[in-house]
Chains A and B, each alone.
Chain A
Amino acid sequence: MRILLLFLALFASMPALAIVEQADVMPADFDNPEQKARFRALTEELRCTVCQNQNIADSHASLARDVRRQVLNLIKQGKSDEEVVDYLVARYGDFVRYRPPFDARTAVLWLGPFVFLLVGLWALLAFIRRRNREQTASVLDAEEQVALQKALNALKDHDASAGGDK
């Protein structure tokens, strides 16, 4: 699915296999499984700012490695998830988080789909009501009904006689 994008990434520099020049976060660095899980969840919601569209958890870029190290350090310092994210946002901007903050700039983003649906629902109901009203209004009154019935009967007779001709 990400084929096309990855093709573009082909020309971006990619680190070669092996030789981890700077200490990446290693499985042994975690104090306990809970810490590992928290680290995993956090780094999955953070964006590698120099990559095409990859999170910190899965990127091989050296920047991602740095951020992983920072995140683990902050966790070990006892910072909450929110504090970790705030720290990174202060350094790299909002671009670094995949969960955009809710503020004046992103209100349309967060509320847009729901407003769209509510307005759509309202328009739909209004449309159906109007439609039903129009159709009720166009229903014939008693006199017209009689006239229509007469016309229909005449047509039927005509058909019958035409059929008889054959």
Chain B
Amino acid sequence: MITQLGHFSLVLALGIALLQAVLPLAGAQTGNRQWMGVARPAAQVQFVLLAIAFASLVWAFVNDDFSLLYVASNSNTAMPTIYKVSAVWGAHEGSLLLWAFILAIWSLAVTIFSRSLPLVYVARVLGIMGLISVGFLLFMLLTSNPFEAIFPAPFEGRELNPLLQDPGLAIHPPMLYMGYVGFSVAFAFAIAALLGGRLDAAWARWSRPWTTAAWIFLTIGIVLGSWWAYYELGWGGWWFWDPVENASFMPWLIGTALIHSLAVTEKRDTFKAWTVLLAIFAFSLSLLGTFLVRSGVLTSVHAFATDPERGLFILVFLGVVIGGSLGLYAWRGKQIRSSGSFALLSREMLMLLNNMILVGLAAGTLLGTLYPLVMDALTGEKISVGKPWFDFIFMVVSPFLILLTGLGPLVRWKRHDRAELLRSLRVPAVVTVLSFIVAAAVFYAGDSPAFKVALGLALAIWIVATLMDNLLGKFANRRMSLAGLAGLGGGYWGMWLAHFGLAAFITGVTVVSAFAQQDDVTVRPGDSVTLAGYSFRFEGVTETRGPNYTAQRGSVFVYRDGKLIAELEPEKRVYSNAGMPMTEAAIDSNLARDLYVSLGEPLEDGSWLMRVYYKPLQSWLWWAGGLMALGGILAAADRRYRRILRREERQRENAQALLEELLDEAGAARVGGSN
């Protein structure tokens, strides 16, 4: 009954989405304010309907309603409730519903936070989001309906992939999707501006907080996913350049470029055409990512053939969105005029270079991800493009980006005097070069790749040194005070923290890649293995039971200089239904290093295979990602936006009142005249 209500809501939501798309867009073109006025209520109704649909699917999972094929395939009665809930988005159909629901959430947010925007613009934005919603709901209802029933309903369901039965995985996909779908707002703002021929600083200012918000979610989503892979997959790695990872990384790269280019467009009224193009790319790559992952085409190009309906729909939908928006861009883009001029040495120029590199990295990632697919499709030859290739490309290109990261904030808009820049760069440059030399000298003795380490550390120091230089420069003529620091504004501190986070991230990656140690050993109870000065003593294994699995829980005591510093309990789990062994690594983490133990297979003679890692600065990767997200939050929350929005709102109200007064007068005059 409840699931039927959910199904019905989904169908109804499609109808409302059509309404939300067609009427406001048509109204905006013809100047019909009543039609435009449909946009907000339609988006709100759509949100309610999709919330009902989503809640009823959650209900079906929580209450083990196996009359739904999707529930029966992904859940069973033994699973803990939290994983029954996260199983909702554990597979194709449910994750599409989550996508559509999140789109409705963003649309709702637009209806709430757009009071100061002109109605015609809001109508266009919501209309475009309605169109996207139509596409997703159609796809779901035609090819991937989560409410599809099976008869007779089985007594017990299958199970959610045990790998996904983890708290990290419960929140990772919603975060990622909030990011992906959030770019639909930036996309809709850009398309609306193209349609209306109104690409100005105001458009950039409206669009900025939304874009930043989406970027924050995407950043958190990626970090969570990476962290999950690190502790759950048992191979100690945090990034594999897997196509699924790349699918989230490409929109992030473009989104990062977009954030910077929007800043230029708002502040300097230039790069408009480029900014629009980036907004289109960011969302297109989000769509491509969603579909690439879900269509199975990554596994094999032949997946399309086995499920031609879904594949065809995906291709057509992508074609319509990307082709349509680029077509519109080609048609209307010529009218875009950028006014601001700038010299070769100016922040605008550095931002353009930054954008170029970020887009180049995204294009490179796309190339590496799709190359094997294209080659297989064209020639039937199979090749693999993996970590060594991606590492190479990023290692060569990103240092230039990082140099710009340090330089950008120091250089003024429009024009910067070269001699002056060189003067202000003296201290950071000397610090950077010195740290490179010191690092190279220190690490040259060891057998580690000294050049890479020195380069990585020096680049991180370059960012920090220029950031400090920049901050101190703000107080060159006055005393530094708390009020003064706060007065620099959310936007400035957002930049500062995000860039600082990047520096911390580079440091972490550099150190952990160069100095991580690992060992694979066979151990019996009482055996010890020593790694990087830590002694891991294997105490033995006990059997335990979880709600839906049995586990062999190892006990490993870690000693340093004879002192016990950690007790780790890595597990080997077998989930009752899937019968598939799962590794649960045990990690002792602090700011300096992670100690990581995972259990391998038991051997016939009663000993166990065990893998131990020492990973210096591993946790820096996670909190660095957190700092970047925090920087985004500060930037998006900058009070400047709210102040300007309030002012615009007031102006609009005044104008509205004036217009009405005039209309009244005109009406009165007409009435008077006809008498």
A residues contacting B by CB (< 8 A) are: 1-10, 14, 16-20, 26-28, 36, 40, 44-45, 47, 52-53, 55, 57-58, 60, 93-100, 105-106, 108-110, 112-114, 116-117, 120-121, 124, 128, 131-132, 135
Contact = CB atoms under 8 A, between A and B. Distances in A.
Contacts of A108: 367, 371
B172 A45 contact: no
A28 B522 contact: yes
Residue from A1, A5, A36, A109 with most neighbouring chain B CB atoms (10 Å): A1
Given A2-B244, A100-B384, A113-B363, A105 B375 contact: yes
Given A2-B229, A2-B245, A113-B397, A96 B360 contact: no
Given A2-B244, A5-B243, A109-B371, A94 B164 contact: no
Nearest to A123: B356
B360 A113 contact: yes
B386 A98 contact: yes
Contact of A100 (B226, B228, B240, B385): B385
Contacts of B298: 5
Contacts of B243: 5, 53
A6 B161 contact: yes
B385 A109 contact: yes
A90 to B, nearest CB: 15
Contacts, number: 165
Interface stretch (B199-207, B454-462, B469-477, B578-586): B578-586
B536 to A, nearest CB: 13
Given A1-B226, A112-B367, A132-B341, A7 B384 contact: no
Contacts of A36: 519-520
A94 B383 contact: yes
9 contacts: A2-B229, A3-B225, A6-B164, A16-B581, A17-B572, A26-B609, A106-B383, A109-B389, A113-B364
A5 B360 contact: no
Contacts of A6: 161, 163-164
A110 to B, nearest CB: 8
Contacts of A135: 341
B248 interface: yes
B518 interface: yes
Given A1-B225, A2-B240, A113-B364, A20 B601 contact: yes
B320 interface: no
B68 interface: no
Contacts of B229: 1-2
Nearest to A39: B520
Contacts of A117: 356-357, 360, 397
Interface in B575-600: 578-581
A120 B360 contact: yes
A121 B485 CA distance: 37
Nearest to A44: B387
Contacts of B574: 17
Contacts of A28: 522
Contact of A14 (B294, B580, B604): B580
A98 B359 contact: no
Contacts of B359: 120
Nearest to A120: B356
A128 to B, nearest CB: 7
Contact of B169 (A3, A27, A44, A116): A3
B242 A53 contact: yes
A73 B218 CA distance: 45
| 10 A-B pairs with the lowest CB-CB distances in the bound complex, closest first | A98-B386, A1-B225, A113-B364, A99-B388, A17-B581, A95-B382, A58-B235, A117-B360, A10-B161, A4-B293
Contacts of B579: 16
A3 B385 contact: no
A132 B341 CA distance: 8
Given A18-B601, A113-B397, 10 more contacts: A1-B244, A1-B245, A3-B164, A3-B228, A6-B161, A17-B572, A98-B384, A98-B387, A113-B367, A117-B357
A17 B569 CA distance: 18
Nearest to A110: B389
B222 interface: yes
